Chain A
Amino acid sequence: MKLSNIFSKRNRVLLRELVSTDFKLRYQGSVLGYFWSLLKPLFMFAVLYIVFGHFLRVGETVEHFSIYLLLGIVMWSFFTEATNQGLASIINHGDLIRKINFPKYIIVISGSLSALINLGLNLVIIAVFMFINGVQLTWGALLFPIYIVELYAFALSLAFFFSAAYVKYRDVSHIWEVILQGAFYATPILYPLSLVINEAGTFIAQLLMLNPIAQIIQDSRHALITHQTTVMGDLTSNILIQAVPFVIVIVSAVFASYYFKKHSAYFSENV
């Protein structure tokens, strides 16, 4: 899986065709077509605004709480979409894999890219709301692209691992579904982390923040929306503990590429 190969002309063309096919098919037959990609986060924002702004007042202490929520949910949705699409991508393209030889990782990347495009559209909506709500941007916002890269790298790593494992073990999709459901509540997405500190103590909060997704979402909120966001640095000064989420991302990237490479030669037989 050399980087130069990923960007070779042939693979680039193929990647583009696969992503565009995916997009064409996604809104196939719907009247509003691509607009759905923008409408969905809009509706979600409306719901969040009403529910959390007027009924469930969990985040009253946090400024711009609806946008704070929306950003977390959008990033989480990207994570689930990218991993789920990646997970099924090899099996779904079994037909191709059995009949033509091409680098298999292109399929996994194409699945994650369409999720990434969706994330981009969602972020545009968020930017609009941030402007309307009068969120003050700081220089820290420049860190946000780094967190997106980290998020993408983590999601892609898991996608590579799951897609290869799924060829052999069809339980993988169910296991991952269950894990995602649990992880959604174990990640400070709907509630501010300060709530956890108050209710369960700093140790539990630290534990939750070891999860790369939690770290990425909190850091992104911190960078873009409000410095009231609790980040790892607020919980511990130990640099080693602060490094854990990044180490997890790097280790999973290395392991996933090894695992995928080892098994991809036999996809055509097993798929």
Chain B
Amino acid sequence: MIQNEPAVIVKDVSKTFKIPLDKATGVKQALVRFARRKKGYRNFKVLDDISFEIKKGEFFGIVGRNGSGKSTLLKLLAGIYVPDKGLIQVNGTLTPFIELGVGFNPELTGKENVFLNGALLGFSRKEVEAMYDEVVEFAELGEFMAEKLKNFSSGMQVRLAFSIAIRARSDVLIMDEVLAVGDADFQKKCFNVFRQLKKEGRTIILVTHDMGNVERFCDRVLIVDKGAPVSITTPSKAAAIYARLNIDDTKPSEVNTQGKEISRWGTGGIRIKDLIIKSPKKSVSPILNFEDDFKITINLTKEKGFEDKSFDVGLAFINQDNVTVAGPNSSLDPIDPSAESITFSVDKLPLQPGDYTVTVAIIDRETSEAFDFYDRATSFHVVSDKPAQGVVAIGGKWSKK
């Protein structure tokens, strides 16, 4: 066996799905369509000319957002789908875990399900018998195996399924999102298994959203977006690229989904016209690198009679956990009442990587009432290729006493 022989070769693979136009799929519809010479479907290109290779013994990650085509790619690798064009070559045997517990039947006992699932994964009855005790022990389900699966908790089912799955003796294993299951203890066990598999030199393809797991295990990562490979790179670089991808198409309103609805109120008179956050990269919402200088410009429109009203500007920076991490206010540093455009800037913004929304308020200095209170008026993102902890970076130095 040549060491550098690739385990998986994907070459110029494209896949198009036919999406039916009308819901009903019947003979009548087919005849009508045939008579009218109309196509009953539209073509939807999911993967477009994708090529890559996975080396033997590599722990290879595939990341992509929902709808990026990564699941289709996975199913192509697993042989579930047939590519329209191109070539997929797997050297050796391959076992896919698109989902754990394929074929599990709630009416069968735990034990019967092990044999059924084992058969689907390609084990003979003897092989399943040989590994049965080990499976039960790993899943920690000793006394439950004679009970029907429908009486298992979902956690127990997953544990059982995973225990069978990791015994697949294939050269290439494909894992899809299976890490996000079970309690912390079980997860730890799973991670140990992954390390073990990696040590044994098995080729593993991991498809996930979780960059943490990618960084923990993967040697290389393929990022797919909109059906095309974005890049194949190291996990740490992938994290930054992936974060950017996630941001690019996020509409500001979507950022707010975890929090409240966007709301805006106030007495009027002075209103926010627009907000501009300076960023090195153009996108729907701005992306800053960690510790970039931050600058937000607030443009105002003033009604007649309000041109010289004194006002204050308050900002609130809210992170994705709905924590207000900072709330700068102009009341101690009064603004020229005639200003139509105000800028707030921070050198080396100390916020950790993540998604932030900004609430902007224009307050009447005399009455303390809001002219314009714009909740979550805009958003921005901080990205970094370094791991980070906490909400803010406090800097600091380490030294010997």
Contact = CB atoms under 8 A, between A and B. Distances in A.
B78 A17 contact: no
A2 interface: no
Given A14-B119, A169-B30, A21 B105 contact: yes
A179 interface: no
Nearest to A96: B103
A137 to B, nearest CB: 39
Interface in A78-109: 95-102
Nearest to B128: A13
Given A13-B124, A169-B30, A100 B78 contact: yes
B108 A21 contact: yes
Interface stretch (B94-102, B194-202, B212-220, B316-324): B94-102
A269 interface: yes
Contact of A96 (B75, B102, B125): B102
Most buried by A among B27, B28, B96, B107: B27
Contacts of B115: 17
Interface string A159-203: 000000000111110010000000000000000000000000000
Interface string B111-152: 010011001111111000000000000000000000000000
Contacts, number: 75
B112 A101 contact: no
B119 A100 contact: no
Interface in A255-269: 265-266, 268-269
A10 B122 contact: yes
Q: Please list the 3 inter-chain residue pairs (A to B) with the smallest Cβ-Cβ separation, ordered nearest first.
A: A101-B79, A17-B119, A171-B27
B101 to A, nearest CB: 10
A25 interface: yes
Given A96-B120, A269-B17, A25 B105 contact: yes
Contacts of B81: 268-269
Interface string A139-176: 00000000000000000000000000000111110010
Nearest to B26: A171
Contacts of A95: 102-103
Contacts of B26: 169-171
B102 A170 contact: no
B125 A13 contact: yes
B80 interface: yes
Given A9-B124, A268-B80, A100 B27 contact: no
14 contacts: A14-B120, A95-B103, A96-B102, A98-B80, A99-B99, A100-B102, A100-B121, A168-B25, A169-B27, A170-B25, A171-B26, A171-B27, A172-B27, A266-B82
Interface in A1-44: 9-10, 13-14, 16-18, 21, 24-25, 28
Interface of A: 9-10, 13-14, 16-18, 21, 24-25, 28, 95-102, 168-172, 175, 265-266, 268-269
Contact of B80 (A9, A101, A168): A101
Interface in B36-85: 75, 78-82
Nearest to A93: B103
Contacts of A9: 124
Given A100-B78, A100-B96, A268-B75, A171 B28 contact: yes
A28 B99 CA distance: 26
Given A17-B120, A95-B103, A170-B25, 8 more contacts: A21-B108, A24-B112, A25-B108, A99-B98, A100-B103, A102-B120, A268-B75, A268-B81
A16 to B, nearest CB: 8
**Secondary structure of the B contact surface, majority rule:** loop
A135 B297 CA distance: 102
Contact of A25 (B78, B103, B107): B107
Nearest to A14: B119
Contact of A21 (B75, B98, B112): B112
Nearest to B176: A99
Nearest to A165: B27
A176 to B, nearest CB: 12
Contacts of B82: 265-266
A90 to B, nearest CB: 14
A100 B80 contact: yes
Contacts of B122: 10
Contacts of A265: 82
B146 to A, nearest CB: 14
Given A17-B115, A171-B26, A99 B80 contact: yes
Contact of B107 (A14, A28, A97, A98): A28
A268 B76 CA distance: 11
Nearest to A29: B107
B107 A99 contact: no
A266 to B, nearest CB: 7
A28 B79 CA distance: 34
Nearest to A98: B80
Nearest to B120: A100
A172 B121 CA distance: 32
